Amino acid sequence: MPSTVLVGTQWGDEGKGKICDLIAPEFDCVVRYQGGNNAGHTIVVGDKKYGLHQVPSGIMYPECISVIGNGCVVNPAVLLEEIDMFEGDGISTANLKVSGNAHVIMPYHIDLDGAYEELLGKNSIGTTKRGIGPCYQDKMARIGIRMQDLLDEETFRSRLSAVLDRVNPQLERIFNLPTYTVDQISETYLPMAERLRPYICETGLLLNDLVEQGKTILFEGAQATLLDIDHGTYVCDLVQLHRWWCRDGLRRGHEERRPRAGYHEAYITAWLRPMPTELDYETSQEGRTLTEVGYEYGVTTGRRRRCGWFDGVIARYATRVNGLTDIALTKLDVLSEFDTIKVCVAYDCDGVRYTSVPEHAAAFASAVPVYEELPGWKCDITGCRTFDELPQAARDYVAYIEKLAGCKISFVAVGPDREQTIVRDW
C-alpha cells in the first residue's frame, strides 16, 4: 500500500497513538496532518510511557521520517520539550521534519482561548486552553504567523507587529488582560526558532518525492470525526477538518488509493456534550465505573473523561464519512470487569428512531440511546495474542461491533502496551 490514513472515529481518546506506534515500522514516513498540542497520544514501551502532543508516533523508529504537516499548529516550546525528551532517552529526532507552512501558537492565542471560555460561562466549549482555536482562526483570516516566518527576524517582527495591532486592543479592552510587545515575544520565540531551524522544510515537496520513490506513508490523525468542524458536533476547541490529510501537498490522484483505518474504543469517551450514551456516575451504584476501570484521564489536561457505552450509530456514521476500510478496536480489556455490556444500536429523538447521526444538532442533543445488552466475559484478556484466544463472549462482542460499524475490525487492543494488540487480516 502506498499510504494509509488513520482517523479517530469518536470524540478522540480512542488510543490512536498505540496503533500508530504498532504499525509505524511498516511505513517509511509518518505524518501528523492536523491538530496541535491539545491532542495527546500515549505510547507504552515496556515500563516506559511517553505522552506525545506535537511529535508523530513514528518518532520511536529512527529510520522512519516523522512529519508535522502544514495542517498542524505548533507550540515551539512544547515541540522542543518533546525533542529534548526523546534525545535525552537516546531516541534520535534527526528524521523529524516540520512544515514551514504550519502555523505557530503564540502566547496571545493561549490568553484568548482561556478568555473566550470564561466569557462563555456555562456554555463554554471545554477547550484545553492551549490556544488551538484562536491560532486556527488567525490562519483562516490570513493573519497568522507560520513556522517559516520565524526563520527571518525582519519578517517575523513585521508580521507580529501587524497582528499585535489587532490583538492587543482585544486583550486590553475586552478581557482586561496584559498586552504584548514585539520585543517581548521576539525574545522568547526567535531563540526557539534557531533551535528548530534544522527541522523546518517544505514537507509537501518531501512527501511527493517520497511517493515518487515508491515509499509508504502513514497519515496519523490527532483529533476525531466528531470534532470536525463540518462533520462533527460543531463544538470543539479547534477549527480543523479531519480530511486535512487531503491538503498535505500530495496529488489528489494519490489520495484516492489510500486505505483509511479508523479507531473505535470498545466504549465511548468524550469531554463534550451532547454524548448520547454518557453514563451518569453520580447516580450509579453499580461498582466501579468505566472511568475508573479504564483510568480515563486526559493525557494533555489530566481531567476526567466522560464515559459511556459503545455507540453503534456513531460507528456507522464514521465509516461512511471517512470511507473507512479497516477499524482498530481499542481498550477491549477495560470491559472485562462487567457482567453485561450495553451497546447503542439506535437513537430515540422525540419519538423518532434514528439509525444514523441526525443532521440537526437539536435532534442529536435530545437523542436517547436504544440499547442491546450483551454478556460480559469476566476474565483477564490482556495476555491474549490471537483472536481465537479471546473468550467467546469477547469474540461475539467484536463481531457485533463490526456488524454495527459496517467495517472489518483489523486490530483489537487488549492492553496499553504495543505488544498487547491482536492483528487480524491487516
Residues involved in catalysis = 13, 41
Amino acid letter for position 193? A
CA distance 102 to 98: 8
What distance in Å separates the CA atoms of residue 135 and residue 130, rounded to the nearest whole number?
A: 10
Q: Which residue has the cell 498542524?
A: 72
Looking at 281-388, which runs of residues are DSSP E strands?
306-308, 310-311, 326-330, 340-349, 352-354, 368-375
Neighbour-count burial of 177, counting CB atoms closer than 10 A to its CB (0-12 exposed, 13-18 middle, 19+ buried):
middle
Strands (E), 193-334: 200-201, 217-224, 260-265, 268-270, 306-308, 310-311, 326-330
Answer yes or no: are the C-beta atoms of 404 and 259 closer than 8 Å: no
What grid cell was written down for 285?
A: 451504584
User: How far is 117 from 127, CA to CA, in rounded Å?
Assistant: 7
**146 near 104, Cβ under 8 Å?**
yes
Residue pointed to by grid coordinates 497520544: 41
Contact 15, 52 (CB under 8 A): no
Percent composition of the chain: helix, strand, coil (DSSP 3-state, to 5): 40, 25, 40
Query: 369: cis peptide before it, omega within 30°?
Result: no
d(CA 367, CA 170): 38
CA-closest candidate to residue 344, choices 302, 377, 365, 316: 316
CA 393/CA 377 separation, integer angstroms: 5
CB proximity list for 47: less than 8 A, separation 6 or greater: none
How far apart CA 307 and CA 269 sit, in angstroms, is 4
- Written as nine digits, the cell of 345 is 444500536
